């Protein structure tokens, strides 16, 4: 679980010397969280890339006759080379994506570590001050924990979107065997639209996430690799 705090000290090995504190560090990200993050970074990249190649085969949500394309996604920014190849990537990596997601959710719930990142009603009052600070040059609210309310909202939404990407994907893949799922989405034709829309929502999240990671510096980035964040702001 996350949360352990240490004081980093320097000594030169003598018995009764007083150690010099050179910093603090917090264990922010447990192993399973980090493992799942990096696996699904690759998996999501492949799912989006191959998904867009699949989309290129019929880049429309209207009728086939007459066909009116929604947008032309360039082949160079898609994975698989052609529909057959893209489906192989998509139908292979979907299992990696799902297994990793299940591992992540299972770990978060059973370890209790979800409390670090789950957005609850208690976080509501803190959202607007964070929005003001990030987007409107408002004052920096005091940070008390690893994730501020806006971050919790973002990451919780991202997880929900991840689940939706799988649910909509299943409805597109098996609209008959998962007919109840497809029905909730308005049938196969609409499930395909939802699946596409959820992908864009996830990409929007990823964009925001990358900007924030870059803005928050090296120590913050490293914490998703080693788990430890040196000299946290809280």
Partner 1 sequence: MKKKNADLKLQLEEKKFKQVNRRELLKLAPVLALGAFAVPSLREVLLKKGLGFSDWTAARFFRPGHAATTFDDSDLTPFAKFPINGYDVDDPGVDFDAWSLTVSGAVKRPGDYKLGQVQALPRFRQNTRHVCVEGWDVIGRFGGTRLSDFLQLIGADTTARFITVNCADDYYESLDMETALHPQTLLCYEMYEQPLTREHGAPLRLQIPTKVGYKQAKYLTDLKVTNVLDRVGYWEDQGYSWFYGL
- Measured at the CA of 146, the angle between CA 145 and CA 147, to 5 degrees, comes to 95
Whose structure tokens read 């609850």? 120
Q: What is the size of the binding site for partner 1 (CB under 8 A)?
A: 57
Of 28-36, 112-120, 123-131, 153-161, the segment contacting partner 1 by CB under 8 A is 28-36
Q: Which of 31, 40, 156 is nearest to 102 (CA)?
A: 40
- Measured at the CA of 74, the angle between CA 73 and CA 78, to 5 degrees, comes to 90
The yes or no reply on residue 83 touching partner 1 (CB under 8 A) is: yes
Whose structure tokens read 């297994």? 99
Mark residues 145-184: x for contact with partner 1 by CB under 8 A, - for none. Answer: ----------------------------xxxxxxx-----
Nearer to partner 1, 38 or 128 (CB): 38
Mark residues 182-201: x for contact with partner 1 by CB under 8 A, - for none. Answer: -----xxx--x---------
Give the separation between CA 110 and CA 103, rounded to whole angstroms. Answer: 10
Q: Which of 69, 70, 75, 88 binds partner 1 (CB under 8 A)?
A: 88
The yes or no reply on residue 60 touching partner 1 (CB under 8 A) is: yes
């Amino acid at each position: 679980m996350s949360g352990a705090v240490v004081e980093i000290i320097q000594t030169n090995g003598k018995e009764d010397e007083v150690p010099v504190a050179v910093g603090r560090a917090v264990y922010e990200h447990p192993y399973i969280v980090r493992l799942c993050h990096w696996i699904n970074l690759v998996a999501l990249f492949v799912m989006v890339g191959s998904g867009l190649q699949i989309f290129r085969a019929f880049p429309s949500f209207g009728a086939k006759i007459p066909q009116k394309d929604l947008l032309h996604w360039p082949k160079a920014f898609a994975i698989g080379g052609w529909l057959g190849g893209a489906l192989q990537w998509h139908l292979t990596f979907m299992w990696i994506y799902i297994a990793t997601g299940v591992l992540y959710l299972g770990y978060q719930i059973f370890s209790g570590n979800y409390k670090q990142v789950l957005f609850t009603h208690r976080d509501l009052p803190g959202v607007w001050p964070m929005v003001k600070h990030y987007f409107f040059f408002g004052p920096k609210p005091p940070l008390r924990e690893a994730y501020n309310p806006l971050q919790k909202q973002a990451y919780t939404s991202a997880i929900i979107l991840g689940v939706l990407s799988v649910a909509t994907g299943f409805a597109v893949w098996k609209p008959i065997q998962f007919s109840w799922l497809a029905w909730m989405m308005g049938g196969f034709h609409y499930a395909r639209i939802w699946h596409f829309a959820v992908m864009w929502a996830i990409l929007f999240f990823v964009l925001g996430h990358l900007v924030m990671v870059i803005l928050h510096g090296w120590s913050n980035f490293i914490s998703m690799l080693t788990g430890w964040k040196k000299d946290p702001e809280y």
